[in-house]
Amino acid sequence: MFVRLAANVAAGLVVSLAAAQAHAAYPTGPIRLIVPQSAGSGVDSVARILSDRMSQTLGQSVVVENKPGANGVIATAYVAKAKPDGYTLLLSGSSPMTLNPGLYKHLPYDPIKDFTYIAGVAENPFVLVASKASGLKSFAELKKAATEHPGRYTFASAGIGNSTHLATEMVAYKTGIKLMHVPFNGSGPAFSSVIGGQTDLMSSVVGPALPQLQAGAATPLLIIGAGAIPELPGVPSARDEGLDLPTLPTWTAVVGPAGMDPAVVKVIEKAVQDAQQDSRLQAQFKAQYLSIYRIAGPALTESIKNDIKVWTGLIHEFGIKAE
């Protein structure tokens, strides 16, 4: 019996040692970081900054791959079905995980059961902008003109049910005005339509929009989900305008398929957190008006569960459907 026990213990130690060695070796090849938006979008910008720093920490390339479409469903479903070995990850924005459950009756993934939530990365407030062609110069002008001419003004978004869509719907709903929605396949094309004058309005994350706004290519009307922004002097916040808006989730987070090895998850989590401590990343985030989103593991999962509950109720109240 003693011999058998000793043999079992030895076998267990061998298995544990092999597993430890495998964990210590991760990663041994390139890691794919899937982005559910088009190149030039807010999430894409975060991914490219983050991937550079993570590559240095992990000693392997972290390669950004854009898979836009269907409000992030395509990319998110793709990662949900990927092998949970840590080599295919998702840099998710809030839309695919917290908004889509209220928009789609038949999502090809479960936002909680099908994923491993690893680490938060960044947060970014929204700004409502107007095209120069619209002639709108302030939020007060928009309210007056849209009240007098319901449905005249169009607003672009990155897709039906995307956070850029819901942010504008929320403002219109609380203000009592009617706007016409024009969805695009990604926030980059949507914002370009405003700059080009094909659409009148858009709610964009501040970072990617800021250079165009400072150059006068579009007009900032309202800060959504934040107080005053020094780089946009004189632009009122929703609070300044007396709008009682719920907090719009504007986070990005690194997510993997369900069933990932906890040791591998810890390696990735540490790489994200080390990147967040990097002064160069912090400077790049600051330049794009991004703030560090410090949350990981179970706390991140619980936060997403709460956001799903809140926003599913609001989406039903707004009467928005993606299918």
134 and 235 in one domain?
A: yes
167 and 225 in one domain?
A: yes
Query: For residue range 35-66, what is the model confidence (pLDDT) as tens digits?
Result: 998 888 888 999 999 999 999 999 999 999 99
Greater confidence (201 vs 206) lies with 201
DSSP 3-state of 246:
coil
Residues spanned by the domain of 229: 126-241
Contact 64, 44 (CB under 8 A): yes
Greater confidence (91 vs 159) lies with 91
Residue 9 lies in a domain: no
Single out the residue of 137, 118, 141, 120 nearest to residue 129, CA to CA: 137
Q: How confident is the model at residue 16 (pLDDT cuts 50, 70, 90)?
A: very low
Is pTM, for the whole model, over 0.95? no
Contact 203, 126 (CB under 8 A): yes
Greater confidence (4 vs 263) lies with 263
Handedness of CA 157, 163, 168, 170 (dihedral sign): positive
Cβ neighbours of 60 (radius 10 Å): 16
294 and 151 in one domain?
A: no
Residue 285 lies in a domain: yes
Q: How confident is the model at residue 9 (pLDDT cuts 50, 70, 90)?
A: very low
Q: What is the pLDDT of residue 229?
A: 82
Determine what percent of the chain is predicted with pLDDT higher than 70.
91
Phi, psi dihedrals of residue 252, rounded to the nearest 5°: -125, 150
Phi, psi dihedrals of residue 2, rounded to the nearest 5°: -60, -40
Residue 4 lies in a domain: no
Q: What is the largest CA-CA distance in the chain?
A: 90
182 and 109 in one domain?
A: no
Query: For residue range 92-105, what is the model confidence (pLDDT) as tens digits?
Result: 988 899 999 998 88
Task: Name residues whose C-beta falls within 8 Å of residue 11's C-beta, 6 or more positions apart in sequence.
Answer: none
Single out the residue of 125, 102, 127 nearest to residue 250, CA to CA: 125
Rounded Cα distance, 107 and 117, in Å: 18
108 and 140 in one domain?
A: no
CA distances from 148 to 36, 145, 173, 176, 181 (A): 38, 5, 16, 11, 18
Single out the residue of 108, 120, 173 nearest to residue 285, CA to CA: 120
89 and 36 in one domain?
A: yes
Q: What is the pLDDT of residue 249?
A: 73
Q: Is the pLDDT of residue 79 over 80?
A: yes
Rounded Cα distance, 185 and 181, in Å: 13
Residue 188 lies in a domain: yes
Mean pLDDT of 13-22: 42
Greater confidence (14 vs 173) lies with 173
**Which of 241, 273, 298 represents a domain boundary (last residue)?**
241
Rounded Cα distance, 232 and 236, in Å: 9
Rounded Cα distance, 41 and 30, in Å: 23
